[in-house]
Amino acid sequence: MKKYKLLLFDLDDTLLNSDWFKTGLIQILSEHPLTKNLDAALFLEKKLRVPSHLIEKLKNREFTPQEFRRARWKHAFSHFDMTPDDEIINGIENLFLQKGFSCINQDPSLIQLLMDLRNHYELGIVTNALYDPRQKVHQMGLSKVFPIETIFCSEELGLRKPDLELYHAPLKFFGIKPDETIFIGDSWIHDVAGAIDAGIDAIWINSRGAVPSTDHSPHAIVSDVKDIRDLLLK
């Protein structure tokens, strides 16, 4: 196999599944005075189904990440004919994050895999995550694997995958070339096509049986991130 020096990981739905978000949201909705009488499952559904026009505003930088997060809350509340102001939404979101982050669990087998990989490669994270990726990494027990300077967050850099500059930022930090790097993630556009366009090979984590939307060719396709052990630690 080609000799790689650097492994770059997506975070959400690659290293970390979305259960924390769903569990934390359901719990805070059931506890908060404003939402405790609402249908929490329906609210979650509306929160997860973000209208395309809001996503486009984020992509086009018409929204800051904070404005986008607030717009998602307002969209969900609108289905219940509720229009809480920004101060109330900010308060609910802060409570949600405290509850949600507390729902992030450590996965010993994932920790061991990444520790083993670290013995052979440099490791980094490149993420479009809307909620503090370093806190997520800490809750996952991965702070020793991914020191804060190796976590490259779109919100901090003012870039978003698939912007080519975001893929190149860790290459500059590590001093490693694109063809010595492989990107590992679940999004075809952000983690496969975008990385390949930046000159970086990719491993696609395709747990849902999705169909590629472009003709890019990844190095490998697996159904779970832990399947990369056989590919990268032979």
Summarize pLDDT for 155-212 with one digit per residue, the tens: 888 888 999 999 999 999 999 999 999 999 999 999 999 999 999 999 999 999 999 9
What's the pTM? 0.91
pLDDT digits over 92-113, tens only?
Answer: 999 999 999 999 999 999 999 9
Q: In the β-sheet with 122-127, what is the strand arrangement from edge to edge?
A: 151-153, 122-127, 6-9, 181-185, 201-205, 220-222
Among all chains, which residue has been given the structure tokens 């904070």? 66
* d(C-alpha 99, C-alpha 92), whole Å: 11
Query: What's the Cα-to-Cα distance from 139 to each of 57, 79, 110, 167, 186, rounded to whole Å?
Result: 30, 33, 13, 25, 21
What is the per-residue pLDDT for 1? 55
